[in-house]
Structure 1
Amino acid sequence: MNAGPGGFRGAPVTKGLLLGTLSTSIIIQASKAVRRRPPLLVSLFTHAFAFRNPGELLFGASLLYFYRIFERQWGSAKYGSFVATTCCVAYALEAAASSGLGWRSASGPFPLVFANLLSNFVLLVPPMHQFTVFGIKMTDKSFIYLASIQLLLSAAPGSLVAGGAGLLAGLLYRLNFLGLQRLRLPTAVVDFVTNTVGRLLTGPAPAQQVFVTPTAAQLQQQQQALHQQQMQAAGGMGGEFQQLGGRQQGAASRGGGGGGAAAARVVEPSPEAVQQLVAMGFDEAAAMQALRQANNNVEAALQYLL
């Protein structure tokens, strides 16, 4: 979560979802001329991942990428459990609608997009900025809502069925229906994915600097060489310059200490600001640390946490 604002670092589940969605969507769109009926498992996989036209792919992939903020906040294990739980519920609802009412749902990860929208984005992400467009007051969240509406109507009525199933699944998850929030992926599954696909999706670890501690003999040689250079540069007037430099250095040290003490003062977070961030779902210790970094500015602290 504190890995930085951009890219996929700390979000391997989102990266895997996007890779699956982009690759299957491009393959399906490129092979539309093939009339051959694919096997059942292939049909289920493409139905879950592949958007059928470039417009759906653009808006759907953008929303999936935006929702990586929840994976960073919760961790990949919990977010992966949310993805598996809500998708299973949504696909069960889609199957019921298809068999009972004859409503066919659109292909693509519509359920996950709209489960994230209702369960997480609407309730957990506060508006940060407000502006007016043609006399209509809007917030920065409006862009996500507009993109979601465009995606919901892109392949109606199938997209309405799939999106509605996702919204209902997100609502059931948020209400903790039948203990959905307590469900977790089995430890064996998490370990297997982490040790196989997870390593490919997270990429190489950042290079670490290695510091070599010099030996006592090397330190003594360096000190002797430095002392000789100072004696040669100072010459016969070295003592006077050293005394003057010592007085200036002492004064500078005292002044620097005062400046450092002033810079070290940190604005303690107010209880109201801490409570506001805790109400959004953040840990109290992490909220206090973020508020200290942001000088008790809630908006800046929220950006730091996200």
Structure 2
Amino acid sequence: MNGGSPSGFINAPVTRTIVISSALFTILFGIQSRSKNISWSYQDIFKKLQIWKLIVSVFGFSSIPELVFGTYLMYYFRVFERQIGSNKYTVFALFSFTVSLLLQVLTLWLLKVPSMNILTSGPYGLIFSSFVPFYFDIPISTRFRVLSLNLSDKTFIYLAGLQLFLSSWRRSTLPGVFGILAGALYRLNVLRIRRAKFSGFMASFFSRLLSGPTTGSDASSATISTRSRRPPPPAQFRVKPRQFALKHQHRRLVEPGEESISALVSMGFERNAARQALLHAGNDVNVATNILLESQSH
């Protein structure tokens, strides 16, 4: 489904940071069977006031199998960061983490079961929140049958999510449900959250913090990330690609690369529309994405 998109974490520095953090926290607290230290209960939060567990639990998984499925899903869902840009994706991630975590804490307070760890740890909020745009926005590209079952390329993502959802039974299902709810609230644009983004200064700070030293292919990612911090494109970019082409036929256009076209196609745009948008965006994937999104809104 997204096999044609750029490999690795190109143009997805936020996802890369979360994946690396999850792996480090899981391995660190998994040494000598200490993974239970980041599973939290009512007593931990409301009696012992171990707030640090809330922070650690956002990233660290409770087990290596959960880490494997979780990082696979986060790696796959990097397409959403490429689609909306790292700035807005950071807002999406923070909103998903915050809403999911608050609902989990509220559940612990209402249930008040001191002797039972009912919630598992890990970035469940972000992972299951991402299933909402995955369901609505990612098209099916391949369909096939296995025995009498009709399957698609999206089936494997749903199966990986189901495995993670049921990995610890009720300890994992509750964070999963709250993550889906957070994704639904974001899609419904509660408090106009979909319009929120960081200021130029904050975006620049986080971009440098997340990107770090860049060489080779990573340099192109840093360039694109820097471009994504520019102000919204001027009015002439906010028209349909075909109309834009008619207005600017005198400009010399450079044929876009196959990798850039595939990146837009993986987001659900038609190939020809993606090519036209890239032509008039100077092969800038972020600007081309803005062109396509604006054309769909008209």
Deviation at 1:168, TM superposition (A): 0.4
State whether structure 2 residue 130 is matched by structure 1 residue 113: no
Q: Secondary structure at the match of 1:105?
A: coil
1:287 aligns with 2:298: no
What percent of counterpart residues are identical? Answer: 34
Q: Give the SS at the match of 2:145.
A: strand
Q: Does residue 1:82 correspond to 2:92, yes or no? A: yes
Determine helix, strand or coil for the equivalent of 1:131: strand
User: CA deviation digits over 1:202-247, x for unaligned, max 9?
Assistant: x325599xxxxxxxxxxxxxxxxxxxxxxxxxxxxxxxxxxxxxxx
Give the CA deviation at 1:73: 1.5
Pair 149,105 (structure 1): closer, same or farther in 2 beyond 3 Å: same
Tell me by how many angstroms 1:72 deviates. 1.2
Please state how far the C-alpha of 1:195 moved relative to its aligned partner.
2.4
Distance change (3 Å), C-alpha of 1:127 and 1:164: same
Q: Secondary structure at the match of 1:132?
A: strand
Structure 1 residues 170 and 35, CA gap change in structure 2 (3 angstroms)? closer
- AA of the residue aligned to 1:7: G
Paired with 2:21 and 2:276, the residues of 1 have a C-alpha distance of 37
Q: Provide the residue aligned with 2:79 in structure 1.
A: 69
Tell me, in whole angstroms, the C-alpha distance in 2 between the residues paired with 1:63 and 1:13: 14
What amino acid sits opposite 1:67 in the alignment?
F
Quote the Cα distance in structure 1 between the aligned partners of 2:110 and 2:173.
16
Pairing 1:1-306 to 2, within 5 Å after superposition: 4-32=5-33, 40=50, 42-102=52-112, 104-118=118-132, 120-200=133-213, 203-206=214-217, 287=274, 289=276
Q: In structure 1, what residue type is equivalent to 2:121? A: S
Amino acid at match of 2:122: G
Cα offset for 1:131? Answer: 0.6
Q: 1:177 to 1:108 in 2, by over 3 A?
A: same
Q: CA deviation at 1:284?
A: 11
Cα-to-partner distance string for 1:97-150 (whole Å, 9 max, x where unaligned)? 1111347321000111000011x1001101001111121001100000001011
Contact 1:106 1:155 in 2 (8 A): yes
Q: How far apart, in 2, do the equivalents of 1:90 and 1:135 lie?
A: 37
> SS at 1:154's partner residue?
coil
8 Å Cα contact 2:129/2:181 also seen in 1: yes
Name structure 1 gaps, 5 residues minimum: 209-265, 267-276, 293-304
Q: CA deviation at 1:198?
A: 2.4
For the residues of structure 1 that align with 2:218 and 2:29, how far apart are their CA atoms?
Answer: 39
Gaps spanning 5+ residues in structure 2: where?
A: 38-43, 220-254, 256-263, 280-291, 293-298
Q: TM-score with structure 2 length normalisation?
A: 0.65
Q: Distance in 2 between matches of 1:17 and 1:167?
A: 19
Note the C-alpha offset of 1:41: 5.2
Q: Given the two structures, how large is their TM-score scaled by the length of structure 1?
A: 0.64
1:290/1:147 CA distance change after superposition, 3 Å: farther
Q: 2:272, 2:154 → 1: CA distance? A: 27
Q: CA shift at 1:285, angstroms?
A: 9.3
Separation in structure 2 between the aligned mates of residue 188 and residue 33 of structure 1, nearest angstrom: 39
Q: Rg: which structure is higher?
A: 1
Which is helix-richer, 1 or 2?
A: 1
> What is the root-mean-square deviation of aligned Cα atoms in Å?
3.5
Paired residues, number:
222
Residues of 1 paired with 2:136 and 2:34: CA distance?
Answer: 43
Note if contact 2:120-2:175 (Cα within 8 Å) is conserved in structure 1: yes
Q: Contact conserved, 1:85 with 1:183, CA < 8 A, in 2? A: no
